[in-house]
Amino acid sequence: MVWWLTEKWGKGTGDQLNILQKIRGYAQNVPERTAVRCGAEALTYRELWEYSDVLAAWLKAQAGEEKQPLAVYGHKNPWMLVCFLACVKSGHGYCPIDISVPDARTAMILQALPDGPVLTTEDMQVDAGTKRVLTLEEIRKLAGAKNSNAPSETDWVTGDDTWYIIFTSGSTGTPKGVQISADCLSHYLDWSVGLGTAPEEKEGKVFLNQAPFSFDLSVMDLYTSLVSGGTLYCLEKSVQSDYKKLMESLAQSQAGVWVSTPSFAEVCLSEKSFDEKMLPQLRAFLFCGETLGNRTALKLMERFPKAAVINTYGPTESTVAVTDVTVTKEMAETVNPLPVGAAKPGTVIEIRDENGTTLADGEKGEIIILGDTVSTGYFCQEELTGKAFFLENGVRGYHTGDKGYLEHGMLFYCGRIDLQIKLHGYRIELEDIENNIRRLSGIEHVVVLPNERDGKVKSLTAYVVEEPLPENEREETARLKHELLAYVPEYMVPKKFVFLEQMPMTNNGKADRKRLKEELEKKTAGGRR
């Protein structure tokens, strides 16, 4: 039996947060407050609202009445937010594509989307076909012009209309677009504004943005910040890759709410000065995307005694996250692995076996999510949608493919059932990498396996059969890594390549992943001695 908790930020079900109305309220009441800062450039709430109004009017005229999604290509630029809001104001969902996405994958995404303008804040090298590409210079010029024809509220994306689409790794080598509706996002925000600190304590605070906008973790800081009247402080890729710049930027941020993967926090913890003296206003760490280690949690508590450490869980298909738990010192010292939390209001989590039977507390099985933030499905992929999503008593449900168990309402995550893994916060289909490695010259067969330590995937190893076998394995590894970057993001490139004369097979003629994994574990264990 599905049941629902209805207490949501002072509102009952059916009266959830109106995102655009909330942002407009800040634009009217605190117009000169900084809404977003990326590097040296920033936009106020007034500018964000007015510029997106004008751009929305242009989009409505150009893209027509049909509510097809529009691509927004770029990186950590305040004008990305202008584009996002302009899209949804004009009745169109948007699909963020970061510059870190390889051109070949960007081309696949653009081809999957219907014709319509492509908004860009960075130079895009990919041929957009018949789609009109709008440059940042053109966007600025449009936004700076006066236009009294801003779309009305009746034009805004609402209800089950798609607010955004995020393309994730697909097992065929082709990315799949997860559709998140306005209602899904609204229900999520009703809950997320209270994570770590009370909603009123987040008012006007600085939210740290680490993840690219094409990674759904960014939604946790982007929209929670905007509906809280906060300032989104973006850490650009160039800053994150330069340790000195990163620490300087963090010290300047005045961040009150931290949102990142645990891995990013671990990088920061390697700096001794990373503590409450650097970030005196920090009151909440919000983690999602991968396993939060006990040691990491304890270090954060020691260095930031005034900040809550919040562990969450949720796939892209359920709108960022659906569980939370405040990690205490006692919990971090005695419970390993850490729980990922209890279900948010409006969500039911069950553990089911392969036959769909709900399992009792403590029994491991597939994590099933039912609730008001479950995606409407994959964009233009009915077959995949039918396999992963379902309706139960009129409520959308999702087969996560994740393994876990419940104890007294608390969820524990135990890894992937299939070949999908989490690496540095990114969800990756191993078959996606394999299919793209097969594109490279000389590759006959390939299996990619995760290297795990302390319950977390640390890196990837690719086992390849290549004809002929390379004379210099180091040089060949470098070649494969370089060529693979044309098809997949850097985080999907295996750290190590192992060259085999023959791929071990099972009795039914499939690659023997179990045997390879055992060999990999032996080598990993040997390296730790």
- Domain ranges for the chain: 39-157, 421-528
CA atoms of 428 and 395, how far apart (whole Å):
27
CB 413 within 8 A of CB 291: yes
CB 19 within 8 A of CB 182: yes
Burial class (CB in 10 A: 0-12, 13-18, 19+), 70: buried
pLDDT band at 424 (very low <50, low <70, confident <90, very high): confident
Residue 473: predicted pLDDT: 95
Torsion of CA 410, 416, 417, 418, to 10 degrees: 160
Lowest mean pLDDT among 95-99, 397-401, 435-439: 435-439
- 138 Ramachandran zone, left/alpha/beta (phi>0; psi -120 to 50): alpha
CATH of domain 39-157: 3.40.50.980
Nearest CA-CA partner of 192 in 240, 228, 229, 164: 228
Residue 192: predicted pLDDT: 98
Q: What is the mean pLDDT of residues 355-367?
A: 96
pLDDT band at 440 (very low <50, low <70, confident <90, very high): very high
Residue 370: predicted pLDDT: 98
Residue 399: predicted pLDDT: 97
CB 312 within 8 A of CB 340: yes
pLDDT band at 508 (very low <50, low <70, confident <90, very high): low
Q: What is the mean pLDDT of residues 291-305?
A: 93
Residue 408 pLDDT more than 60?
Answer: yes
pLDDT band at 524 (very low <50, low <70, confident <90, very high): low
Residue 507: predicted pLDDT: 59
- 5 Ramachandran zone, left/alpha/beta (phi>0; psi -120 to 50): beta
Residue 144: predicted pLDDT: 86
Residue 468: predicted pLDDT: 87
Q: Percentage of the chain surpassing pLDDT 70? A: 94
pLDDT band at 95 (very low <50, low <70, confident <90, very high): very high
Q: Look at 262 and 253; give whichever has higher pLDDT.
A: 253
pLDDT band at 16 (very low <50, low <70, confident <90, very high): low
Give the mean pLDDT of the chain: 91
CB 349 within 8 A of CB 322: yes
Residue 301 pLDDT more than 60?
Answer: yes
CA atoms of 376 and 385, how far apart (whole Å):
8
Q: What is the mean pLDDT of residues 75-100?
A: 97
Residue 12: predicted pLDDT: 34
- Alpha helix segments (H runs only) across 227-303: 237-240, 243-253, 262-269, 294-303
Residue 267: predicted pLDDT: 87
Assigned superfamily of 421-528: ANL, C-terminal domain (3.30.300.30)
Q: Look at 271 and 508; give whichever has higher pLDDT.
A: 271
CB 503 within 8 A of CB 445: yes
pLDDT band at 503 (very low <50, low <70, confident <90, very high): confident
What tens digit of pLDDT does each residue of 202-218 get?
999 999 999 999 999 99
Helices 182-192 and 19-29: crossing angle in degrees, nearest 10, is 60
Q: Percentage of the chain surpassing pLDDT 90? A: 76
What tens digit of pLDDT does each residue of 160-203 get?
999 999 999 776 677 899 999 999 999 999 999 999 999 999 99
CA atoms of 304 and 388, how far apart (whole Å):
40
pLDDT band at 526 (very low <50, low <70, confident <90, very high): low
Residue 13 pLDDT more than 60?
Answer: no
Q: Look at 435 and 18; give whichever has higher pLDDT.
A: 18
Residue 527: predicted pLDDT: 55
Among 135-139, 150-154, 421-425, name the most confident range. 135-139
Neighbour count for residue 467 (Cβ, 10 Å): 9
Reported pTM = 0.86
Q: What is the mean pLDDT of residues 391-412?
A: 96
End-to-end C-alpha distance for the chain, whole angstroms: 51
